[in-house]
């Protein structure tokens, strides 16, 4: 008759139906259902193959895209390294010419002397910007960053940095210092001076304009060498503190911000200190302003 053997169907006792029925299903119905199942299974297999191919294509496209991005990034870094090196030569030559002219000024040429000092300060500022861009590029790409590790007296390192900075600081800036003598750290003098120069310069920049008061202190914290740089500015909001060490980040709106800068200073400070296994943190200065605290890895022998 074309029927499969009967199937028993039982309804649960206590329900409206509590009898057992025998049901005969046609073979054609079973065959039709099998065909539907096979077609559905084939569809799932084809969809799986298609999705796998799509994922492989997307993965390949992503790999090629990332490879291109990395190559472009490498080209950009190489360009920045090349252009900053090229800029350093004419800037150094210009500074030398200005300083030579300054030495030849007579007592009757005071106005010319002021102009030359202004030119010398601007050339020095330009030189520091170029140095920051060059160092930021090296730090980002880890390309050509060389260390000459030596023992350094922290007090002498700070004083040398201040000596280089003084001509570029505003006349109203007052820097006070308080040292624990003979605190030793190990590191690269040039790189650490760059970090301190950016840190102190940043403190002056964001101090109260016309009344810039900076306090630098060395001390011992839990047996380790430490120092702090405090300003009397408006302070750094809590929500901004996690961002200020990011590359190119600057607080406020670029259109309304009065202080100049590239957003590289604190980025370099944090990166260069990390290279020396030092930690930098931020706290509020009292009654107003910000304090940057530096903790070095060296134990203090005091």
Three-state SS letters, 126-141:
HHHHHHHHHHHHHHHH
Range of the domain at 185: 149-299
Within this chain, do residues 109 and 171 fall inside the same structural domain, yes or no? no
Q: Please, which residues have CB within 8 angstroms of residue 164's CB and are 6 or more apart in sequence?
A: 193, 197
Domain-ending residue, one of 145, 172, 197: 145
**Dihedral, CA atoms, 126, 127, 129, 130, nearest 10 degrees?**
120
Residue 256 confidence (pLDDT): 37
Number of neighbours of residue 121 by Cβ within 10 angstroms: 14
Within this chain, do residues 205 and 121 fall inside the same structural domain, yes or no? no
Domain-ending residue, one of 128, 145, 162: 145
Within this chain, do residues 156 and 112 fall inside the same structural domain, yes or no? no
Q: Assign 140 a pLDDT band (cuts: 50, 70, 90).
A: confident
Is it true that the peptide bond before 287 is cis, omega within 30 degrees of 0? yes
Within this chain, do residues 70 and 209 fall inside the same structural domain, yes or no? no
Asked whether residue 8 carries a pLDDT value surpassing 60, the answer given is no
Within this chain, do residues 209 and 97 fall inside the same structural domain, yes or no? no
Within this chain, do residues 206 and 270 fall inside the same structural domain, yes or no? yes
Asked whether residue 276 carries a pLDDT value surpassing 70, the answer given is yes
Which CATH number do you get for residue 263? 3.30.565.10
Q: What are phi and psi of 68, to 5 degrees?
A: -70, -40
Say if CB 184 and CB 152 are below 8 A apart.
yes
Q: What is the mean pLDDT of residues 33-57?
A: 85
CA–CA separation, 78 and 125 (whole Å)? 23
Q: How many domains, the chain?
A: 2
Domain-ending residue, one of 129, 145, 161: 145
Task: From 291, 294, 289, 261, select the one nearest 278 (Cα to Cα).
Answer: 294
Residue 36 confidence (pLDDT): 83
Within this chain, do residues 30 and 139 fall inside the same structural domain, yes or no? yes
Residue 11 confidence (pLDDT): 54
Q: What is the mean pLDDT of residues 8-21?
A: 56
Within this chain, do residues 125 and 252 fall inside the same structural domain, yes or no? no
Q: Assign 226 a pLDDT band (cuts: 50, 70, 90).
A: very high
Within this chain, do residues 153 and 192 fall inside the same structural domain, yes or no? yes
Residue 169 has what DSSP assignment? S
CA distances from 114 to 45, 94, 160 (A): 83, 17, 25
Alpha helices in the chain (DSSP H): 27-103, 110-141, 154-165, 189-205, 265-275
Q: Which of 29-43, 127-141, 193-207 has the highest mean pLDDT?
A: 193-207
Residue 223 confidence (pLDDT): 92
Residue 141 confidence (pLDDT): 67
pLDDT in tens, 75-125: 566 655 666 666 666 777 777 777 777 777 776 677 777 777 777 777 777
CA–CA separation, 36 and 30 (whole Å)? 10
Q: Which of 45-54, 77-86, 180-189 has the highest mean pLDDT?
A: 180-189
Within this chain, do residues 226 and 271 fall inside the same structural domain, yes or no? yes
Q: What is the mean pLDDT of residues 20-26?
A: 62
Within this chain, do residues 161 and 107 fall inside the same structural domain, yes or no? no
> Which of the residue ranges 6-15, 86-95, 198-207 would you say has the lowest mean pLDDT?
6-15
Within this chain, do residues 7 and 128 fall inside the same structural domain, yes or no? yes
- Could you tell me the pTM of the whole model? 0.61
Task: From 177, 175, 244, 232, select the one nearest 207 (Cα to Cα).
Answer: 232
């Amino acid at each position: 008759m074309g029927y499969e053997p009967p199937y028993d169907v039982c309804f649960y006792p206590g329900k409206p139906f509590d009898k057992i029925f025998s049901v005969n299903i046609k073979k054609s119905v079973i065959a039709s259902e099998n065909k539907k199942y096979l077609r559905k299974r084939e569809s799932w297999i084809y969809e799986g193959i298609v999705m796998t191919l799509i994922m492989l294509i997307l993965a390949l496209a992503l790999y090629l895209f990332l490879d291109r991005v990395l190559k472009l990034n490498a080209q950009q870094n190489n360009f920045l390294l090349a252009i900053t090196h090229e800029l350093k030569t004419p800037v150094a030559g210009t500074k030398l010419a200005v300083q030579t002219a300054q030495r030849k000024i007579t007592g009757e040429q005071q106005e010319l002397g002021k102009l030359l000092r202004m030119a010398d300060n601007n050339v020095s500022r330009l030189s520091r910007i170029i140095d920051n861009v060059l160092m930021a590029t090296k730090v980002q790409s880890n390309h050509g960053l060389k260390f000459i590790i030596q023992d350094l007296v922290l007090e002498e390192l700070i004083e040398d940095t201040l000596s280089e900075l003084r001509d570029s600081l505003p006349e109203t800036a007052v820097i006070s210092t308080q040292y624990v003598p003979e605190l030793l750290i190990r590191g690269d003098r040039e790189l650490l001076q760059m970090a301190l120069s950016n840190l102190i310069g940043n403190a002056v920049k964001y101090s109260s304009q016309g009344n810039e008061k900076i306090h630098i202190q060395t001390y011992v914290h839990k047996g380790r060498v430490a120092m702090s740089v405090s300003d009397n500015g408006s302070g750094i909001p809590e929500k901004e503190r996690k961002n200020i060490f990011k590359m190119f980040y600057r607080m406020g709106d670029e259109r309304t911000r009065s202080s100049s800068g590239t957003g590289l200073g604190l980025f370099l400070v944090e990166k260069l200190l990390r290279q020396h296994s030092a930690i930098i943190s931020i706290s509020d200065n009292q009654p107003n302003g910000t304090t940057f605290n530096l903790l070095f890895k060296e134990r203090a022998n005091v």
